Amino acid sequence: MPKKAIILDLDNTIYPVASIGNELFHPLFKMIEQSGEYTGDIEEIKKAIMRTPFQKVASAHNFSDTLTEQGIELLTGLTCTMEMAPFEDYDEVRAIPCKKFLVTTGFTRMQQSKVEQLNIARDFEEVHIVDPRLSNQTKKSVFKDIIDRHNLEPTDVLVVGDDPHSEIKAALELGIEAVLYDKLNFNPATTTLSRITDFKQLHDFI
């Protein structure tokens, strides 16, 4: 059945976090290294921070409460001012003639600044930033809300994102078809999910 709407993730779906990560997170990485209040390898932690919400990384690497709080405080005020560009195949998404919604999890100011630097707000009917510090919303509750308000059926919608444990899981739980956009080859071996590595392949799901 043709889709009426696409819900997209932002980080590592529309642009690669690694393209800005070292610059953006430099003060955070310095804070973590200087504190020494973590377990595991600092390079692994840096990589994880570019792929996973900070709170999850902090918990997985046993950050002290102080370090966690200071990290959150720092991230709350952090914005992207550097030049940013979408993945080269993002134009394929722009060209798809159905309603698009952006749903991203993270710190409100930071996520908002990314949308501005990427100049993508005009591509979307609605932009939703799920900020766990500010509300109990989840990607799943936002997806449900979009479907209800726009009189859509779950089968009318396609969710596209890079994280099997976030937007992909939320979509499947709601009976929404989901595609793993794995441009960066994070999950090469998945056999249970629909996986694409270029937005050109999205046409097969629309």
If one asks whether residue 111 binds Mg ion (CB under 5 A), the answer comes out as no
Can you tell me which of 3, 5, 8, 12 binds Mg ion, judged by CB under 5 A? 12
**Quick one: 156 or 163, whose CB is closer to Mg ion?**
163
If one asks whether residue 162 binds Mg ion (CB under 5 A), the answer comes out as yes
In whole angstroms, the minimum distance from the beta carbon of 104 to Mg ion comes to: 7
Binding residue count for Mg ion, defined by CB under 5 A: 5
Q: Which helix (H) or strand (E) holds 32?
A: helix 26-35
What angle is formed at CA 50 by the lines to CA 49 and CA 53, rounded to 5 degrees?
55
Q: Which amino acid is at 160?
A: V
- Considering only 8-16, 32-40, 129-137, 173-181, which stretch makes contact with Mg ion by CB under 5 A? 8-16
Can you tell me which of 3, 6, 8, 9 binds Mg ion, judged by CB under 5 A? 9
Tell me whether strands 99-105 and 5-8 are parallel, antiparallel or unpaired: parallel
Long-range contact list for 68-73, CB < 8 A, 24+ apart? 70/31, 70/35, 71/28, 71/31, 71/32, 72/133
In whole angstroms, the minimum distance from the beta carbon of 66 to Mg ion comes to: 28
Q: Please report, as ranges, the residues that interact with Mg ion according to CB under 5 A.
A: 9, 11-12, 162-163
